[in-house]
Structures are given as C-alpha cells and as structure tokens.
C-alpha cells in the first residue's frame, strides 16, 4: 500500500475574497463579539470591526494604493494589524508581513525584495526602535514612498479616507478575484535570504475555514491567539478562522507571555487556545498555572514545531482542552495540510499530526527517487491542492525547487504514514543525524527524554565527530526545583533506547535559540555546541 491520501469533504471550497467573507459574517452577526485586544483595552463587534476596516480601506484608496501594490506591516499583535490585513484585502493590495524580530539588514531585504510601496510600523517593540531602523535603511529602498507610524500617522491615514466614497471601494472590490495574490510571508531560512511565500485569498481563507470546521467553531467560541499575527498561524488560522465561523478573536498581549495568555483564557472564558509547543510548555510551567480556572477550554491547536506527546497529554489533562488537536503544515501551504480530529482517540491525537485535510492531497516520497514509498516507510512529505502558494515572490528558481511540475509542494520534512492515513513527522531532512552509518531521528530521543519527571523541555541535535561523523547532543531545561545529572539522564535513555541513540553530550540551558514564532533554531544550537565543545576541527572535515 502506498503512502498517499486525499481529503474528502461535503463542504465546498469558497470562492469568496477575504473582504466578502468579512462582510458576510458582519451581516450575519452584527452584534456578535468579533475581537478583544486585552493589552489595548479594545472590544469590537463584527459590525464595528467591519466599519473600521472599511475606513482604513478608504484611507488606502485616498493615497492611491492600487491592486497588486505591496503594503508592509511591521508590528507586534495589535488591532491595527488586523484592520490593515482586511483593508488591504478589500482594495486588492498585497500585505507583506514583516517579522517583529527583524534587524535593519533583514528589514531592508524584505522591503526591498518585495518592493513595498507603503510601510505601516509600530513605533517600537521591546528594545527595538522601529522608527530609527526604518530611517536607517530607507535610502536603500527607492520603492518605499510612505511610512505610516501607528499613532497620529495612522489616525491621519484613516481620516484621509473620509473623502473617498464607499461606492469607490465597492467598485474596487468588484474587480478583485479570489485567486489574486494577497499576502507575502517571508520564511525564516537557515541559510541564505528568506523567501517570500505568496498566498491568495483562496489559499488562506479556505485553509482557515477548513480548520475552523474541523474544530467545530461557532459564534459561541472564543479563540485565544497568542501566536504572532505576522505568521500564518495568527493571521490565517487565527483571524480568518474566526471570520469564517463567527468565533471571537482574543489577543492576550502584544507578544507571547505565559501569564497574560493564561489570564486571557480564564477571564475571557476562551474555548480554544493556539500555540507552538514551547508556548504550551511555558504555560504549563508557570507558577500561576494552578491558580486559574481554565475549564472553559474545549479545543485548540498545537502546531509550528514537533509536538511532544507528553506535553499534549498535559494540555488535555491539566488545561482541560479535551479536544486539543495537532495541525501540520508550512507557510507555503497556507499553512496546514494535515490535522488530528476531535473524534480521534487520545493516542492518535497526541502522537500523530493526523490525516489529510479536506480538498488536500498528501504523499510521502523517497527523497532520492521521488517515488511514493510504501506505508510505514519514512520519506519526504509532499502536499498538493488549493492550499499551495502561488510561488516565492519574484524567485522562479526557488519556486521550481519547492513545487514540482505536478504541483506537489515538497516540505523537506520526513514523515511516515500508516494504512489509515495517519501521519507522523519523524524529523526535518536536514535534522537527520547520521552516526556511524546509523540514521537517527532526534524526535524519537526527545520523546523519551520528555518522559523524565524532571525535564521541562528538550531538543536533540547532531554535532560533528571525527570518528563517527556525528554524535548526539541533548539540550534540556528542567522543571522548577528539579534537576538530573548527565549520568542519570544517560541511564534513563539506556533503559529505553538502543545504545547508539543515547546522547553523548548534555547541556542544561535556561532557554533555546528560537524564532519569534517559537520555533527552535537547531542550526544555532549546533553552532553554539561546536564552539563550547571545541569541535571546530571535526566540523571542518569535508565529506562527499
């Protein structure tokens, strides 16, 4: 039996634009609660949200933003981010999401490569002065005509739109198509410059609606969204999933912190929670975790990185999210292609990334030959369907490398599919450790170490070794008040793993190097390990 599956559905795909979807929900639920931004003390009904989006869209028309123009947004989570997301969609502009963690060189690259004509930016975020950074790179960006700083500049943009009649906005919208590119998201590459995944209304709106349907959302649901809006998880699954279902968007803070997120769940009576595994770990380990009533939680999504089984079980048992799910995907697939279902048994819901979503195909192929492998055999996971991006912005060669002639998106993730279509991610192709000819998937070792009572979080990497090619190294954080020696951890592994899978090196860390979305950067861990362990000579050995 081959590792191939397609997702049947009784629910048709929508041909709406994002603006049409928002208008439909506002008409259906005018007085329903649409958005809560706790750190801004803002609460908007669907009719109020639609009206504010309309005013921003008129402001964009007043400064002659045309269909296809790129409009950048550089800000942490704020209501204005969401208003601009919907407003650009209504006028046909392409929203360019800029990572809040970018430094000047990264900012200049993203704005320059996409040809951003207007940038909306927060004044600052944490220790970063955004206005100064924009000023430092603006001379190198001839396409950048206007910078709007949230505050008085933003108010002026909105006020300027009052001279534009609503009829003009409706005429603009009528000329738009659901297959128009509407969003560029830069993927955080480990080497070279990031690539701009270009997504359409059809891509991200249908993916969000499909996921909301799987989660059983209605206007009775309140969705806690601590994941950043600049990523597909926040603006797509989060914002657009709520638009498609009528559920409420709840923003706990301008960026993730465990206690504001827990407070938002408890005080807003959230029924769903989104996050990457590190966020859930931080919430579970918070000293205040036991003081809060989280019984309103019903479901949610853990995604964005490999989801440890033990963490999933704790979310079910301790956070009361009995119907928590795992979604798997990537920015280039809008983002999710597989997902566990609320009806799956606990084992499958905590140990797999589920089955293919409706209207989507997945297969697992031999990375060398491209042939579809038999079930239960590892290979590269590929996805195909409405969700695959239009391509990387103005980068045809990178697009051709990622999306083959048959339309399959090659994920770079190693996976296994069983006979019923359930998928397990066993690692990134580049994370595979080859020790003395043995192929080792770090995920397997991480799952074992997560079972140790003292371990809060763990990441396993390969480090260079002159004799074996690579050796294993485990980075760990411990639960508050707990610890374990290297020898104790080594023995714990020996009882549960083949000898060649037991890490040689161990490191206790307060935190792991991460992207702003909470994805662990294993390549940075490897760099640190090489320096700390004195492995430069082994790292310099050339191989075929």
Tell me which of 79 and 351 has the higher pLDDT. Answer: 79
When pLDDT is averaged across residues 72-76 and rounded to a whole number, the result is 98
Which of 454, 451, 428 lies closest to 508 in space, CA to CA? 454
Residue pLDDT, tens place only, 139-172? 999 999 999 999 999 999 999 999 999 999 999 9
Residue 41: pLDDT over 90? yes
CA 85 to chain centre: 16
pLDDT value of position 200:
98
What phi and psi values does residue 152 have, to the nearest 5 degrees?
-60, -40
What percent of the chain is modeled with pLDDT above 70?
98
pLDDT value of position 544:
34
Side by side, which strands form the sheet with 455-465? Answer: 455-465, 469-478, 505-508
Residue 78: pLDDT over 50? yes
Mean pLDDT of the chain: 94
DSSP 348: H
Residue pLDDT, tens place only, 47-63? 999 999 999 999 999 99
When pLDDT is averaged across residues 284-304 and rounded to a whole number, the result is 96
DSSP letters of 109-149?
A: HHHHHHT-SEEEE-SEETTEEHHHHHHHHGGG-TT--EEEE
CA dist 264 and 250 (Å) reads: 8
Domains and CATH numbers, the chain: 1-16+211-394+403-426 (3.40.50.12780), 432-539 (3.30.300.30)
In 3-state terms, the chain is what percent helix, strand and coil (to 5)?
A: 35, 25, 35
What phi and psi values does residue 57 have, to the nearest 5 degrees?
-60, -40
pLDDT value of position 190:
41
pLDDT value of position 162:
95
Residue pLDDT, tens place only, 360-384? 999 999 988 999 999 999 999 999 9
| pLDDT tier at 441, thresholds 50, 70, 90 | confident
pLDDT value of position 191:
44
Residue that has been written with the tokens 């989801």 in this structure: 307
pLDDT value of position 106:
86
Nearest 10 degrees: Cα torsion 342, 276, 150, 119: -100
pLDDT value of position 543:
40
Residue pLDDT, tens place only, 212-271? 999 999 999 999 999 999 999 999 999 999 999 999 999 999 999 999 999 999 999 999
| pLDDT tier at 410, thresholds 50, 70, 90 | very high
Residue 485: pLDDT over 60? yes
Find out whether 327 and 334 touch, Cβ atoms under 8 Å.
Answer: no
pLDDT value of position 91:
98
Question: CB under 8 Å to 237, separation ≥6 — which residues?
Answer: 207, 208, 211, 274, 301, 327, 335, 336
CA dist 152 and 523 (Å) reads: 41
| pLDDT tier at 437, thresholds 50, 70, 90 | low
DSSP 429: G
Alpha-helical segments (H) within 189-308: 201-214, 232, 241-245, 258-268, 277-284
pLDDT value of position 523:
86
Residue 21: pLDDT over 50? yes
Residue pLDDT, tens place only, 103-136? 898 899 999 999 999 999 999 999 999 999 999 9
CA dist 88 and 18 (Å) reads: 10
Tell me which of 526 and 210 has the higher pLDDT. Answer: 210
DSSP letters of 375-413?
A: TT--EEEEEEETTS-SEETT-HHHHHHHB-TTS-EEEEE
When pLDDT is averaged across residues 459-481 and rounded to a whole number, the result is 90
Instruction: Report the first-to-last Cα separation within the chain, whole angstroms.
Output: 34
pLDDT value of position 542:
52
Which of 357, 263, 278, 343 lies closest to 315 in space, CA to CA? 278
């Amino acid at each position: 039996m081959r590792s191939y599956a397609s997702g049947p559905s009784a629910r048709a795909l929508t041909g709406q634009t994002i603006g049409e979807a928002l208008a439909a929900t506002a008409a259906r639920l005018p007085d329903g609660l649409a958005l809560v931004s706790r750190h801004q003390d803002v609460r908007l009904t669907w009719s109020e949200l639609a009206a504010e989006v309309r005013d921003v869209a008129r402001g964009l028309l007043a400064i002659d933003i045309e269909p296809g123009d790129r409009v950048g947004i550089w800000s942490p989570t704020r209501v204005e981010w969401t208003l601009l997301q919907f407003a650009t969609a209504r006028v046909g502009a392409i929203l360019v999401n800029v990572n809040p963690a970018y430094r000047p060189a990264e900012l200049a690259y993203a704005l320059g490569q996409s040809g951003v004509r207007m940038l909306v930016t927060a004044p600052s975020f944490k220790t970063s002065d955004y206005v100064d950074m924009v000023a430092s790179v603006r001379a190198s960006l001839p396409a950048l005509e206007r910078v709007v700083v949230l505050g008085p500049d933003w108010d002026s943009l909105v006020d300027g739109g009052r001279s534009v009649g609503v009829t003009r906005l409706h005429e603009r919208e009528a000329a738009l198509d659901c297959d128009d590119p509407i969003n560029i998201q830069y993927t955080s590459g480990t080497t070279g410059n990031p690539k701009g995944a270009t997504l359409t209304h059809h891509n991200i709106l249908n993916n969000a609606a499909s996921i909301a349907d799987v989660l059983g959302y209605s206007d009775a649901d309140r969705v806690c969204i601590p994941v950043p809006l600049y990523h597909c998880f926040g603006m797509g699954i989060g914002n657009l999933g709520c638009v498609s279902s009528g559920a409420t968007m709840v923003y706990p803070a301008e960026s993730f912190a465990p206690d504001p997120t827990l407070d938002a769940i408890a005080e807003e009576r959230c029924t769903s929670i989104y996050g990457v595994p590190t966020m859930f770990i931080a919430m579970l380990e918070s000293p205040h975790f036991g003081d809060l009533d989280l019984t309103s939680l019903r479901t949610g999504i853990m995604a964005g990185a490999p989801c440890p089984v033990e963490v999933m079980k704790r979310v079910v048992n301790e956070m009361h999210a009995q119907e928590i799910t795992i979604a798997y995907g990537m920015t280039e697939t809008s983002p999710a292609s597989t997902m566990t279902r609320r009806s799956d048994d606990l084992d499958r819901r905590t140990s797999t990334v589920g089955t293919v979503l409706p209207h989507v195909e997945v297969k697992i192929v031999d990375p060398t030959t491209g042939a579809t492998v038999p079930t239960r055999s590892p290979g590269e996971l590929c996805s195909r369907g409405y969700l695959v991006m239009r391509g990387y912005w103005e980068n045809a060669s990178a697009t051709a490398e990622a999306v083959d002639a048959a339309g399959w998106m090659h994920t770079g993730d190693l996976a296994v599919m069983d006979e019923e279509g359930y998928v397990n991610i066993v690692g990134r192709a580049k994370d595979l450790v080859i020790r003395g000819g043995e192929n080792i998937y770090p995920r397997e070792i991480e799952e074992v170490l997560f079972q140790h009572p003292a371990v809060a979080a763990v990441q396993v990497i390969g480090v260079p070794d002159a004799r074996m090619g690579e050796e294993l190294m485990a980075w760990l954080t411990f639960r508050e008040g707990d610890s374990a020696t290297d020898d104790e951890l080594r023995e714990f592994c020996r009882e549960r793993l083949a000898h060649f899978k037991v890490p040689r090196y161990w490191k206790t860390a307060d935190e792991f190097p991460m992207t702003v979305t909470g994805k662990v950067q294993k390549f940075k861990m490897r760099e640190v390990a090489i320096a700390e362990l004195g492995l430069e000579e082994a790292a310099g050995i050339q191989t075929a």
